[in-house]
Amino acid sequence: MRGTDPGTSTIRDRVRPASAEELASIPWLDALTPAERRRAEAAVVVGEAEPGDLVCRIGRPPTYWFGVVAGLLKMSNDNADGTSMTYSGLPPGGWFGEGTVLKREPYRYNVQALRHSVVGGLPADDFHWLLDHSIGFNRFVMNQLNERLAQFIAARETDRLNDPDVRVARNLAALFNPVLFPGVGELLRITQQELAYLIGLSRQRVNEALRALQAQGAIRVEYGGLRVLDLAALRASVTAGKGAA
């Protein structure tokens, strides 16, 4: 997959055409006309990323619009002092970086695989062709940008509270976002260690917060993942935490 970091050449080595099953999991294809969809499906490729592989790297120009077909990625920014700020986890169904591709500017963040993942890519030129020719694609991208802006504003507000329980609830609510991550559904395949890594808390502290959310009836901790039982209640716990602050 051209445009990835030279140290992650193994991703490029594993690029192949998307299978019919993989194409069926790409949400924005449903917004296209039959002719637009045929063009897009012919252009989409997928690559396999191993844990630690960088899909996007700060300072590199975008050559693809990326999406998660399977697995889990992390979008973050590593600071000069050695600290790292995580912007978002990226579960299945999530397509990201449309603003960067739209402006054709270098990435301002890294995107790294947390586990073995299958990453889809639409070449930047085809992305712009769809913007120029497809009303359905434009609406999808606008919805993405609007939803992501709201997500980042909420994240900024929550992080200022420095309340671990609220941070866990906010991150879970974001990962279960049906607009940005339609492939998740009601069950998010994630370990508590992966969630702790995304949030920046210890696994023990994340476990405490998850038990509290489960007691409230918002989620259920299951083997290999977390099931949302009441998304509205999960989001309300974030709002309640802000009010208490």
CB of 36 closer than 8 Å to CB of 130: yes
Give percent of the chain above pLDDT 90: 71
Fill in the amino acid letter for 192.
Answer: Q
Report the amino acid identity of residue 85: M
pLDDT by residue (tens digit) across 25-83? 999 999 999 999 999 999 999 999 999 999 999 999 999 999 999 999 999 987 666 66
Task: Kindly report each contact of residues 169-174 with a partner whose C-beta sits within 8 Å and lies 24 or more positions away, as own/partner.
Answer: 169/209, 169/213, 169/218, 169/234, 169/235, 169/237, 169/238, 169/241, 170/238, 171/89, 171/195, 171/198, 171/199, 172/213, 172/219, 172/226, 172/228, 172/234, 173/231, 173/234, 173/235, 173/238, 174/88, 174/89
Specify the amino acid at residue 42. A
The residue ranges of every structural domain in the chain are 6-146, 160-244
CA–CA dist 40, 223 (Å, integer):
37
* Band of residue 13 on the pLDDT scale cut at 50, 70, 90: confident
- Computed over every residue of the chain, the mean pLDDT equals 89
CATH placement of domain 6-146? 2.60.120.10
Q: What is the CATH number of domain 160-244?
A: 1.10.10.10
In this predicted structure, the answer to whether residue 6 has a pLDDT above a threshold of 70 is no
Percent of the chain exceeding pLDDT 70 equals 88
pLDDT at 8 over 60: no
pLDDT at position 241 over 80: no
The pLDDT-based confidence of 221 (bands split at 50, 70, 90) is very high
pLDDT confidence band for 21 (50 / 70 / 90): very high
Alpha-carbon separation of residue 138 from 42, 135, 170 (angstroms) = 19, 5, 28
What pLDDT was estimated at residue 77?
87
Crossing angle (nearest 10°) for helices 164-175 and 231-244: 150
